[in-house]
Amino acid sequence: MQIFNKSKITARSIVADGLSQRAVVFLLLGAAAISLAPIFVRLSEVGPSATAFYRVLFAVPVFILWMIYDKKHDNIHRQPNSLKDYARLGLAGIFFAGDLSFWHWSIKLTSIANATLLANFAPIFITLGSFFLFGERFNRIFLGGMILSMLGVALLLGDSFVFHFGHLVGDVFGLIAAVFYAAYLLAVSRLRKDFSTVTVITWSGFATCICMVPITYLSGESFIAPTLYGWAVLFGLALISHAAGQSLIAFSLAHLPAAFGSVGLLLQPALATIIAWIIFDENLGAMQVMGGLVVILGIYFARRGSH
């Protein structure tokens, strides 16, 4: 049993038509929207778990209105109508809550660079999950592009990435976050075969919110932002990074393999680095520029290898 096929993907190939091309564009736009999340989290006046809770909660009304419209106009996808359907949607939300929780705790317990790099190991776990769970095959071009993109992320972080025994728990949490995010993307990819984008995002979002309440409480964080500015930051995170970003990603995963989708999302740290350079005047050296270019090159090869 081999993990790659010398000629092409045998499990699910991407048809080079207008829909798949738009899906790639939407995936990259979703990555761009999510790349703003670390900026909003840094500016937030509440704790990391509470920030994650409001990120999902404040986006729910938007999704509910969209879902009402969707029910009247979408004649292609079915609506959830059984306990099994709701369980599958809820499981995706639990995976996302796990990703958010471990990711934010990782940032607190280790360096941002370590947390960022380790959380971006998700493509490896998605590729392995797609192979062992769903029997998908990947050619050498795709695997090479995935590895190249991850090396680009490492270059982006430069000298900031250092393993330290005192940060071990935070580093482990970063890896666990990557596993949860991989599970979330795989779940969304499968759910989109049956349900519309907004159905998946809305019902999984309910589950994420429910999970984040006890997590925030146990973290000892306040649910109240002290100023209007703090609430504006939370609304910005919810509407831009979650409502827009997650919707674009969920749509694209209906028309792209989850493994390629996860590689495309590696554009996030490249964009986040550029945004941090513009807003916070953080250093952007030659190594970071080279890393960003390597990420883009890796995504290009992964895309070619996904045909």
The pLDDT tens digits for 127-162 are 777 776 666 776 777 777 777 777 776 776 665 555
Q: What pLDDT sits at residue 10?
A: 43
DSSP letters spanning 109-122:
HS-HHHHHHHHTTH
Q: What pLDDT sits at residue 24?
A: 78
Q: Which two tokens stand for residue 152?
A: 């680009």
Q: Which two tokens stand for residue 74?
A: 């979408």
Show Cβ contacts of residue 265 under 8 Å, excluding neighbours closer than 6 positions: 27, 30, 31, 34, 122, 123, 249
CA distances from 108 to 37, 177, 209, 258 (A): 16, 13, 21, 29
Q: Which two tokens stand for residue 56?
A: 């999902």
Average pLDDT of the residues of the chain: 77
Q: What is the pTM of this model?
A: 0.73
Is the pLDDT confidence value at 271 over 80? no
User: pLDDT per residue over 293-304, tens digit each?
Assistant: 777 677 666 666
Q: pLDDT-derived band of residue 110, with 50, 70 and 90 as boundaries?
A: confident
Q: How many CB atoms lie within 10 A of CB 224?
A: 10
3-state secondary structure of 194: coil
CA distances from 199 to 73, 88, 240, 250 (A): 13, 12, 19, 10
3-state secondary structure of 155: helix
Q: Who has greater pLDDT, 73 or 54?
A: 54
Is the pLDDT confidence value at 290 over 80? no
CA distances from 282 to 199, 242, 285 (A): 39, 25, 10
